[in-house]
Structure 1
Amino acid sequence: MLAKILVVDDEPSIIDVLTRFLSREGYEVVTASNGREALERVTEVWPDLILLDVTMPELDGFSVCQRLKEDEKTALIPITMLTGLDDREHRTRGIEAGADDFLTKPFEQSILRARLRSQLRLKRLTDQLEHTEGVIFMLAAAVEAKDAYTEGHLRRLRTYSEQLAMAFGLGPEEVRAVRYGGVLHDIGKIGVDEAIIRKPGPLTPEEITQMRRHPEIGAQIISQMRFAREVAPIISGHHEYWDGSGYPRGLKGHDIPIGARIITIVDAYDAMTTDRPYRASLGDEEATRRLIAGRGTQFDPDLLDVFLDLIRSGKLQPEQVRAEVLHGGEL
């Protein structure tokens, strides 16, 4: 399958030169003559690489690059910026906008050829990694499927954790990490005996020990993912308690990553407000009472107060209004 390259330039002569060169090199070429058209074309054709002119009317290349890099759906498309000025200011602005590479006009064919191959090779590796990540998310769903009583648990935790993170004022990157942590927090249970997971009664000390390994197993499973640095601490710490009595490391207070503290709260709430093998749902009133009882011991008091406000105000929603698909699997 031919690699697809989007060429964006307001000079017809440059588009013509690049189109002829890229076609000879065996690439499929798509073109746009300005920044706004480029943004439309990206979502129409999903290119493997974008050659983006810096100076264009209305919406310049820096603005286009920044918009694409800030959007999760397009952030991983390599962007090579084209400039007629080989100066530090343009490169600095391009780096700040998220550009992956730079080329100076007029183009030297050998350099252009080498840069294209390098960027497309990186894109193929990224695509392979995305496929691996898709498998990881599917594994998380498979773990959930082991227990009929936790149906929808991952979807609710993703939604609850994202709402709490946003209400607490976390930035977009932190919110995304928390959302992924909500989906993947229990993936380590794939390393736990299924009989233990399904057991309706109390666990033996040996079974408890095995079950308590799942946060660290989960962190290891996702260790090679692009977002592992942000998400792995959430997974490994989601059973740590504010007073230091949790596991696996006995972390205390703000030593526990904030994403893990969020998951601890929403996981407990979801467990109390859904039917389990050993009891029916406790309902919101009792769940709220028990959350308050754990304030400052099990739960971060500041985060808990924000979460309780969401519940009391009716703003906490178990499902997002919009449907969302994560890495090829709807969760």
Structure 2
Amino acid sequence: MWMPTTHTSEAAAALPAQRRSPGDDPPGHIMVVDDNREAGAALAALLELDRHTVDHMLDGRTALSAIECRQPDLIILDVQLPDMDGYAVCAALKRSPITWQIPIIMVTVEGQRASRLQGLEAGADDYLQKPVDMQELEVRIRSLLRNKRRNDQLEQAEAVIFALARTVEAKDAYTEGHLQRLALYSVAIGERLGLSSDAMLALRYGALLHDVGKVGVDELIIRKGGPLTPAEYRVMQQHTLIGERIVQPLRMAAAVSPIVRHHHERWDGRGYPDGLAREAIPLGARIVAVADAFDAMTTTRPYNRVFSVAEAAERLRAGAGLYWDPTVVAVFLDWLRTARALA
């Protein structure tokens, strides 16, 4: 039972029809899950005064079914439910790749520390004790909705950026499947180097987006079947800088943008755009450079013949310490031998 401390259900009915000022954050779609019909209805009435759209569900299974049809922006979830407890509902939502980002406020009886810890372990984003202070609840709702809107905007931006990367790949018939192979090779190297999970995710993103800046390069240059002129090469080099700007809206921009900017640097310092050398080149960029070179050598390109895996491996060894990080090359070739043996 909710037991709001600020208003009773009768007081809620007597309040003005709207309390939100025009300059406030926009309202959201909130689901209240509480088996107490009267208390849940009272809470819903109070939230509706702030122009939120509110659904009141009396049990966990009904709530989960309703969420499959229409996702709320936020869920206020009581722990005590008749069919499945709030922990199970919360855990089910947080396990799903569709609903895991919906913020959940769980409510429990005052003083039950173990209950709060269990709810947070289940994935709850916030926790309130009964009796619920409505002013505090409203502040937490606004904060969580604000964060969700920001995350939604970032997700939309990321979707656009990855769509641009696929557009670049589609421009060049010779690079079909290149991004996925590059991500595979890069992640394999990263795993063998013992990178953290966050660094691995950034590496995968960097591999998939390394050439996204080519969306700003003339298609005739990208598709050209022969060597580029010096002027064309200077234009092509700009794709690293364009790509760096494109990926800035990503939540992982700080980790991904150095890979995008520096994947054409050389170990000897004669690459572009900044002429970085050796360990000054970000590790992710060094990894992607090796993976990119191997894929370019072993797939059909208009400017180069296809090399066998053995030939490409030998060229990587020859270029280690000149073009590429010797350690990264050695790790990749070791993985390649293992992968081919298991194939």
Structure 2 CA distance for aligned equivalents of residues 219 and 31 of structure 1: 49
Pair 259,98 (structure 1): closer, same or farther in 2 beyond 3 Å: farther
Deviations 1:198-239 (A, max 9, x none): 111111111111111111110111112211111111111111
Instruction: Report the equivalent of 2:302.
Output: 277
Instruction: Report the equivalent of 2:174.
Output: 149
* Number of matched pairs: 310
- Pick aligned residue for 2:230 from 201, 205, 208: 205
* Conserved? CA contact 1:187–1:214, under 8 Å: yes
Q: Secondary structure at the match of 1:298?
A: coil
Instruction: Report the equivalent of 1:3.
Output: 29
- Pick aligned residue for 1:258 from 283, 302, 308: 283
Q: Secondary structure at the match of 2:260?
A: helix
Instruction: Report the equivalent of 1:113.
Output: 138
One-letter amino acid matched to 1:130: E
* Conserved? CA contact 1:238–1:261, under 8 Å: yes
Q: Provide TM-score, normalisation by structure 2.
A: 0.74
TM-align CA RMSD: 4.0
- Pick aligned residue for 2:271 from 233, 243, 246: 246
Q: How much has 1:271 moved relative to structure 2?
A: 0.4
Residues 78-87 or 289-298, more deviating: 78-87
Unmatched runs of 5 consecutive residues or more in structure 2: 1-26
Instruction: Report the equivalent of 1:104.
Output: 129
Instruction: Report the equivalent of 1:78.
Output: 103
Pair 218,317 (structure 1): closer, same or farther in 2 beyond 3 Å: farther
Q: How much has 1:29 moved relative to structure 2?
A: 4.4
Q: How much has 1:287 moved relative to structure 2?
A: 0.6
Instruction: Report the equivalent of 1:290.
Output: 315
- Pick aligned residue for 1:17 from 39, 49, 53: 39
Q: How much has 1:265 moved relative to structure 2?
A: 0.8
Structure 2 CA distance for aligned equivalents of residues 305 and 4 of structure 1: 54
Q: Is 2:55 the counterpart of 1:28? A: yes
Q: Secondary structure at the match of 2:128?
A: strand
* Conserved? CA contact 1:163–1:316, under 8 Å: no
Alignment of 1:99-178 (within 5 A): 100-178=125-203
* Conserved? CA contact 1:32–1:41, under 8 Å: no
Unmatched runs of 5 consecutive residues or more in structure 1: 319-331
Deviations 1:14-35 (A, max 9, x none): x97346523763323457669x
Q: How much has 1:75 moved relative to structure 2?
A: 5.7
Q: Is 2:254 the counterpart of 1:229? A: yes
One-letter amino acid matched to 2:153: Q
Q: Secondary structure at the match of 1:27?
A: strand
Identity %: 46
* Conserved? CA contact 2:320–2:329, under 8 Å: yes
One-letter amino acid matched to 1:299: W
Pair 39,200 (structure 1): closer, same or farther in 2 beyond 3 Å: same
Residues 229-238 or 152-161, more deviating: 152-161
Pair 152,98 (structure 1): closer, same or farther in 2 beyond 3 Å: same
One-letter amino acid matched to 2:137: L
* Conserved? CA contact 1:177–1:231, under 8 Å: yes
* Conserved? CA contact 1:5–1:28, under 8 Å: yes
Q: How much has 1:148 moved relative to structure 2?
A: 0.9
Structure 2 CA distance for aligned equivalents of residues 102 and 33 of structure 1: 18
* Conserved? CA contact 2:108–2:116, under 8 Å: no
Pair 277,235 (structure 1): closer, same or farther in 2 beyond 3 Å: same
Structure 1 CA distance for aligned equivalents of residues 328 and 65 of structure 2: 40
Which has the greater radius of gyration? 2
One-letter amino acid matched to 2:152: D
Q: Provide TM-score, normalisation by structure 1.
A: 0.76
